[in-house]
């Protein structure tokens, strides 16, 4: 005979549950909690942060729309300061003629289209009028922080009143620049460039016309100084370089033809080729073709003041530069003094007055259009303007330059 199951156990469990439900509120009122960590949950749990977002700080309002107004990280702010740097006439980053030891922001590309002009009466070929135009397209790329690749293509055009005295020539440059940043505000580097010369309409272009330039650079960027109140908007640039010049190769065939046309006998008989002067190109051709008979040391000092106009979202950068060329006769060019009025004197006769030096004054404006830059400068010749040496192209009294540039940074966010 099977035993009937007992119902006492279920009844006892039900009675205990009812007693616990009735006694719970009374126990909670008698023993208040001192755990302050439960207070934030009094009105519900806080909202969860979106996936990938930073956790909220204590007291931070998750609905605050001004979170994006916080100052950018230091690295991004530095990139923005690099981003305002633009090309020089030759393509490397800097002012107009004095280059920066560093470059733009890593990953940035830069392009600039520039033109120059002057008009003078009787400067090179009195009493005629000389009209000059020039143009240059320069590009630069900074693949990473420490290397810049740059290049440019330029053409120059000079016209005078004399028939057949129009000159048109061009050249191209390719260069590499490297640097280091031992201090945040100090950049030290060097660059090397190759110049290819050509004369439009002349198919006989050889490597003999190729020149090589080596240059050491230093930059003091006071915008990167730490421990000062605010940023000092000043960039100081120093350059010192040497150019192995072979530009005279472009006129060797022309001068040989002129020499062969000189009389071989008589009172005006030609002297040996290197000692003769009548077959050499004159001051007008030297300037128009950019021909130097000797190498040169070039020194440059530049100042740039990138002032940010926050209200207009514009950067205004005044420029001031000084550059000077010191000739070095590595080629052993022989300049024999001549009493002929049509022949220019030698560099040894003229002394320091024949050295080319210039002062550049200008301004670079970066409007609210991101990456755009407009540069307007004035070159003023200091020496070498009226002392025409047979070994050197002359320094123009003045030249106005206008450039339109654009920088594109692939790493910064687009708005």
Residue 148 placed within a domain? yes
pLDDT number for residue 140: 96
Between 346 and 199, whose confidence is greater? 346
pLDDT number for residue 174: 96
Residue 291 placed within a domain? yes
**Nearest 5°: CA angle at 195, between 189 and 200?**
155
CB 238: neighbour CB atoms within 10 A? 16
Band of pLDDT at residue 29, cut at 50, 70 and 90: very low
Residue 83 placed within a domain? yes
Q: Sign of the CA dihedral 70, 74, 78, 83?
A: negative
Candidate from 176-185, 197-206, 362-371 with smallest mean pLDDT: 197-206
84 pLDDT higher than 50: yes
Region 172-198: what's the mean pLDDT? 95
Band of pLDDT at residue 170, cut at 50, 70 and 90: confident
Residue 62 placed within a domain? no
What is the pairing mode between strands 307-309 and 235-244?
A: unpaired
Mean pLDDT of the chain: 82
Residue 112 placed within a domain? yes
For residue 166, what are the domain limits? 75-409
pLDDT number for residue 197: 82
In angstroms, the Cα distances linking 348 to 288, 344, 388, 395 are 23, 12, 12, 17
pLDDT number for residue 108: 92
Between 62 and 375, whose confidence is greater? 375
- What is the tens place of the pLDDT at every residue in 266-300? 898 999 998 898 999 989 889 988 899 999 999 99
State the Cα–Cα distance between residues 34 and 17, nearest whole angstrom. Answer: 27
Residue 2 placed within a domain? no
Question: Helix, strand or coil for residue 66?
Answer: coil
What is the pairing mode between strands 108-121 and 93-94?
A: unpaired
Q: Sign of the CA dihedral 281, 283, 285, 290?
A: positive
Place of tokens 């129009």: 166
State the Cα–Cα distance between residues 146 and 190, nearest whole angstrom. Answer: 11
Residue 10 placed within a domain? no
Q: What is the CATH number of the domain that holds 337?
A: 2.40.160.40
Most distant CA atoms of the chain, gap in Å = 160
Candidate from 38-47, 228-237, 352-361 with smallest mean pLDDT: 38-47
pLDDT number for residue 165: 57
382 pLDDT higher than 70: yes
pLDDT number for residue 88: 95
State the Cα–Cα distance between residues 406 and 350, nearest whole angstrom. Answer: 43
113 pLDDT higher than 70: yes
pLDDT number for residue 204: 45
Residue 41 placed within a domain? no
What DSSP state is assigned to residue 190?
E
**How many domains does the chain contain in total?**
1
Which residues lie closer than 8 Å to 289 by C-beta, 6 or more apart? 167, 169, 199, 247, 250, 251, 281, 393
Candidate from 34-48, 307-321, 361-375 with smallest mean pLDDT: 34-48
98 is written with which tokens?
């004095």
Region 57-72: what's the mean pLDDT? 49
State the Cα–Cα distance between residues 90 and 69, nearest whole angstrom. Answer: 39
């Amino acid at each position: 005979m099977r035993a009937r199951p007992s119902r006492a156990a279920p009844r006892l469990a039900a009675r205990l549950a009812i007693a616990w439900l009735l006694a719970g509120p009374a126990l909670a009122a008698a023993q208040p909690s001192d755990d302050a960590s439960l207070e934030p949950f009094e009105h519900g749990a806080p909202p969860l942060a979106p996936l990938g977002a930073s956790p909220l700080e204590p007291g931070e309002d998750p609905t605050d729309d001004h979170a994006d107004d916080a100052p950018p990280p230091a690295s991004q702010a530095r990139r923005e300061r690099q981003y305002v740097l633009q090309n020089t006439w030759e393509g490397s980053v800097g002012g107009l003629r004095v280059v920066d030891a560093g470059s733009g922001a890593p990953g940035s590309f830069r392009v600039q289209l520039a033109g120059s002009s002057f008009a003078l009466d009787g400067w090179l070929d009195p009493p005629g009028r000389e009209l000059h135009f020039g143009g240059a397209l320069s590009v630069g790329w900074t693949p990473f922080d420490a290397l810049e690749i740059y290049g440019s293509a330029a053409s120059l055009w000079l016209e005078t009143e004399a028939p057949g005295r129009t000159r048109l020539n061009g050249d191209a440059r390719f260069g590499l620049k490297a640097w280091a940043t031992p201090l945040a505000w100090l950049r030290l580097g060097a660059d090397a460039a190759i110049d290819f010369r050509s004369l439009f309409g002349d198919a006989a272009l050889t490597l003999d016309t190729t020149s090589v330039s080596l240059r050491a650079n230093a930059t003091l960027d006071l915008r990167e100084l730490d421990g000062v109140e605010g940023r000092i908007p000043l960039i100081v640039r120093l350059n010192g370089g040497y150019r192995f010049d072979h530009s005279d190769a472009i006129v060797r065939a022309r001068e040989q033809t002129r020499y062969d046309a000189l009389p071989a006998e008589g009172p005006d008989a030609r002297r040996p080729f290197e000692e003769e002067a009548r077959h050499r190109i004159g001051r007008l051709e030297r300037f128009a073709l950019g021909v130097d008979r000797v190498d040169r040391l070039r020194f440059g000092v530049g100042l740039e003041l990138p002032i940010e106009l926050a209200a207009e979202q514009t950067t205004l950068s005044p420029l001031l530069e000084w550059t000077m060329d010191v000739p070095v006769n590595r080629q052993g060019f022989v300049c024999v003094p001549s009493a002929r009025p049509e022949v220019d004197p030698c560099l040894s006769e003229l002394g320091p007055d024949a050295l080319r030096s210039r002062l550049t004054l200008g301004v670079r404006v970066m409007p609210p259009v991101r990456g755009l830059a407009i540069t307007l400068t004035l070159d003023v010749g200091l020496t070498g303007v009226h002392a025409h040496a047979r070994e050197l192209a002359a320094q123009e009294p003045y030249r106005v330059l206008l450039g339109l540039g654009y920088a594109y940074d692939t790493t910064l966010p687009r708005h």
